[in-house]
Every structure is written in structure tokens, then in C-alpha cells.
Amino acid sequence: MKCPFCAADETAVADTRINDDGDIVRRRRRCLTCDKRFTTYERAELRLPQVIKKNGSRVDFDREKLAASLTLALRKRPVSAEGVEAAIVRIEEKLLALGEREVASEKVGELVMRELKKLDKVAYVRFASVYRNFEDVDEFSQVIREVSLSPQPLGR
């Protein structure tokens, strides 16, 4: 693995740990040239479906874009990075379970909204207001009423 600091090719693994689910390996590495340390993550690469956008174009599923959307909705909210990562993993698992080669962007959006609703109600309303492109205050009020009636999320 190439060092992200000095681009040297020689690095050594200092520590290896497997997450609780056993599906991700975390490695602490040390560069043999500059002696800096960094972390890498290893997971099985599965082929996620392509996303069909509203305009009909197709793009590869982008985990980083999904993470950025969740992070933006959760900005300044008390949700841990582990909670966000777990939500991303659940969304990916649901997409894989569909067994489809293509999936509509609306389906991805609905999965994101479902996860946000479990994580943080304020983040859910933020995302819904952009995703559903509310035209008036009544639509916004309806989502707030819906969230107010649902149970409080468990643990963060």
C-alpha cells in the first residue's frame, strides 16, 4: 500500500482488527520511509446496482456521494460516525438484496430517508425537505407531523 503522506511504496502493517460483524478489516499501517501512521479499511467488494437518475441517465452507485448526503443532513446533529457508517452499510445491503442491476434514484432516496428517520428526526426532515422538493409550507408541516408521531430513535 502506498503511503498517503510521502507516496512511498513500502509500508508495514502495525495492527489488524476485524469489526464486530466480521465484514470489515481495519489495519494500522506505518510507512517505512517517513515513519507516519495511517489506517486502511478492507471489505469485500460487491457489485451494487447502477442508479437511474430522474433524467434517465445511469451512474454507478457512489458510496462517497451517499456518505456526503447523510453527513450533510446530519450536520451539527448528535449522531456518531459509527451510526452513519452503519446506516450506509444497511442501505448497501438493501440494494444488494434487491438483486437488480439497476435501481431508480427514488428508491435510493427512500432508503436514505428510512435510515435518517431512525438516526435523527431533524436530519430526516432536512433531507426530506430537499429530496421531496416541497412546494409549500403544508407539505413541510405534514412531514413534521409524521415525524412527531413516530417513536424516538434508539441509541446513537
Q: Assess if residue 1 is contained within a domain.
A: no
pLDDT in tens, 121-132: 888 888 887 776
- CA end-to-end span of the chain: 34
How far apart are the C-alpha atoms of 110 and 113, rounded to whole Å? 5
Q: Provide the residue range defining the domain that includes 122.
A: 50-149
- The backbone torsions φ and ψ at residue 58, rounded to the nearest 5 degrees and listed phi first, read -115, 135
On whether both 72 and 126 belong to a single domain, the answer is yes
Q: How many CB atoms lie within 10 A of CB 128?
A: 24
Q: Assess if residue 6 is contained within a domain.
A: no
pLDDT in tens, 71-98: 999 999 998 889 999 999 999 999 999 9
Q: Assess if residue 27 is contained within a domain.
A: yes
On whether both 67 and 16 belong to a single domain, the answer is no
Q: Looking at the whole model, is its pTM more than 0.75?
A: no
Q: Assess if residue 131 is contained within a domain.
A: yes
Confidence of residue 133 (pLDDT cuts 50, 70, 90): low
What integer best gives the mean pLDDT of the chain? 87
Q: Assess if residue 155 is contained within a domain.
A: no
Q: Total structural domains in the chain?
A: 2
Q: Assess if residue 97 is contained within a domain.
A: yes
On whether both 100 and 140 belong to a single domain, the answer is yes
